[in-house]
Amino acid sequence: MKEKLSLPKGWELKTIGDVCVSASSNVSQNKLADDEGDYPIFGASGLIKKVSFYHRDKPYLSIVKDGSGVGRITKMDAFTSVIGTLQYILPKENIDLDYLNYSLMSVDFKKYVAGAAIPHIYFKDYKNEPFLWMPLPEQQRIVSILDEAFSAIERSRNNAEQNLKNAKELFESYLKTAFENKVHGEKFDSLDSLCELIVDCEHKTAPTQETGYPSIRTPNIGKGELILENVNRVSYETYLQWTRRAVPKSGDLILAREAPAGNIAVIPENIEVCLGQRTVLLRPKKDRLVSKYLAYLILSKEVQEILLSHSTGATVQHINMKDIRAFKIYDLSDLKEQKAVVQKLDALRAETQKLEAIYQQKLLNLEELKKSVLQKAFNGELITEKLQIL
């Protein structure tokens, strides 16, 4: 906000500290185990539980002051509380709570965050942020304009998210149709018999460095493709040690055994990688099985359900090697038909990825639009009756 703004009569440029106060909570989450009641208490991730007490009998704002989500503002209901990792933000007299909420949403709190291990933010650091003050009726008029604008943006966001979901489900339906006859029947081949090798990863952590050979971990295994952004890298010596049982080649597949179990990717040409933790290397026999056909087959919903039905682990699903080796493929098509299926699915996937990219960009644009609307509001530009949004 610029201090040289030409403001309407009665409007003033104040600070956040002029119009609200902060209050701390002394409640620790680990002390709530035995407390039961009717009043919600919240943490940074949302509702924790209902307890026997409340701190605020009127609506208020909370801000995350420590840890994940630091700086996030939330409007809270009356007769609720927050734990000590959040703070209360309470408006002073003649300050509309919704107007204060929108004003704080326009603040870039990141510039006030300190602490590497546990980020934190304090009221004393951001209380001098500019605040566009106006008489209460004008605050409420601005809130009405912003409510309408944000409601329109939210409707568009919901539509974009639904369209994005539909695009993803569309490709899943293609996979189901392509492989619906390959997961049940009488005649089958085990994955062990269809592959030259199936090799588990080293069960230890590789020393990493900034440059070197990519070490493929489960976050690097997408839906058919490797994700090399932010990949861990290892030295040549580590690469040699970790590929002593098998050197991954172009056309091999890497399967995630857990976190998330079931993802699989084909190694592209002209790249040398080694297996990171929780991964398995599969090398199909070239005269029996097309690599990408197997990848698409494993990514189909029904096959995922079969694989994961054998998984173990209470909190993290884990696929056993014996189940991978014994996995059955029924009525395997010949190579010509497999290649035709892959070609068709590649084309369909390219189209659905285009749709996904469009809707992802739409969501990003809507977030930018929200920022733009808030900027206009608190630069004194919402003087007119209506704001054209969409």
pLDDT-based confidence at residue 389 (cuts at 50, 70, 90): very low
Least Cα distance to 380 among 74, 139, 89, 148 occurs for 139
pTM of the full predicted structure? 0.68
Q: Which of 220, 322, 229 is nearest to 279 (CA)?
A: 220
Across all residues in the chain, what is the average pLDDT? 89
Domain 182-330: assigned CATH number: 3.90.220.20
Specify whether the CB–CB gap between 350 and 167 falls below 8 A.
no
Q: What pLDDT shows up at residue 67?
A: 86
Helix (H) or strand (E) holding 192: helix 191-194
Model pLDDT, residue 1: 46
Percent with pLDDT over 90 in the chain: 61
Tell me the C-alpha distance between 288 and 193, whole Å: 10
- Tens-digit pLDDT profile for residues 205-246: 888 998 999 999 999 999 889 999 889 999 999 999 999 999
**How many C-beta atoms surround the C-beta of residue 264 within 10 A?**
25
Residue 31 has pLDDT above 80, yes or no: yes
The CA distances from residue 138 to 16, 190, 264, 376, 379, in Å, are 18, 72, 57, 15, 14
Q: Are 83 and 28 in contact (CB under 8 A)?
A: yes
- State the Cα torsion 318-320-321-324 to the nearest 10°: -90
Angle (nearest 5°) at CA 47 between 41 and 51: 35
Q: Is the pLDDT of residue 193 over 90?
A: yes
Q: Which pLDDT score, from 0 to 100, does residue 377 have?
A: 79
Q: CA gyration radius for the chain? A: 28
Strand stretches in the chain, DSSP E = 12-15, 20-24, 39-43, 46-51, 60-64, 73-76, 81-82, 86-91, 130-133, 188-190, 195-200, 213-216, 223-225, 232-234, 253-256, 264-266, 274-275, 279-284, 328-330
Domains of the chain by residue range: 12-134, 136-172+335-382, 182-330
Pairing between β-strand 232-234 and β-strand 195-200 as defined by DSSP bridges: unpaired
Average pLDDT over residues 61-67: 93
Of 370 and 384, the structure prediction assigns the larger pLDDT to 370
Task: Tell me: pLDDT of 292 over 90.
Answer: yes
Same fold, 12-134 and 182-330: yes
Q: Kindly tell me if the per-residue pLDDT of 146 is higher than 60.
A: yes
Confidence at 376, pLDDT banded by 50, 70, 90? confident
The 3-class secondary structure across 41-108, one letter per residue, is EEECCEEEEEECCCCECCCEEEEECECCCCCCEEEECCCEEECCCEEEEEECCCCCHHHHHHHHHCCC
Query: Does pLDDT of 384 surpass 90?
Result: no
Q: Which of 44-48, 206-210, 279-283 has the lowest mean pLDDT?
A: 206-210
Locate 294 and state its tokens.
């197997």
Residue-wise DSSP of 223-254: EEEB--TT-EEE-HHHHHHHTSS----TT-EE
Give per-residue pLDDT as tens, 293-352.
999 999 998 888 888 876 665 556 778 899 899 999 998 889 999 999 999 999 988 988
What CATH class is the domain 12-134?
Answer: alpha beta
Strands 60-64 and 86-91: antiparallel
Q: Looking at residue 102, what is its pLDDT? A: 94
Residue 100: the pLDDT is 96
The whole-angstrom distance between residue 129's C-alpha and the CA centroid of its chain comes to: 30
Mean pLDDT on 137-141: 93
